[in-house]
Amino acid sequence: MKTKDFCSNDEVRLLVAAFESGQLPAAEFKHTAHIAVGLAYLAEAPLAEATERMRRSLARFLQHHNETGYHETLTVFWMKLLRHLAAVRHSELPLWEQINAVIASHGAKWPVEAHYSNDVVTSANARQTWVEPDLIPLPD
């Protein structure tokens, strides 16, 4: 199953379906796959709806694989950042090319550190609820 370097929207749809059904092994749902699924959700719905779908899908995926680790602030942060990147930098591209472009620019990056202090992002509160960045606000 491809989780990056997509060649078509069909490949993206296959990843989303495997993720949502739990058929994607937990070990393969790395950062780049999160980006791909998040952008796919944002291509189909506004931010609030896409973020809610990501929450529900992550909860099901984690439960299916008997995993823990959901983090509300990181989920919302990435969905907001992905929406911004797709709209401002890559809006003219088809979905699969948007995903490849964002993975190329942010697949190995962890921009969370620029926006959050370690104490805030690692707090129990941030794991359970959305916490606004304490260092640099997210772009609109």
pLDDT tens by residue, 67-111:
988 999 999 999 999 999 999 988 889 999 999 999 998 887 778
DSSP character for 23? -
Instruction: Confirm whether pTM is higher than 0.85.
Output: yes
Ordered DSSP codes for 13-61:
HHHHHHHHHT-S-GGG--HHHHHHHHHHHHHHS-HHHHHHHHHHHHHHH
Length of the chain: 140
Read off the pLDDT of each residue in 128-133 and give the average, rounded to a whole number: 96
Query: What average pLDDT does the structure give for the chain?
Result: 93
> What is the structure's pLDDT at 62?
95
CB 118 within 8 A of CB 23: no
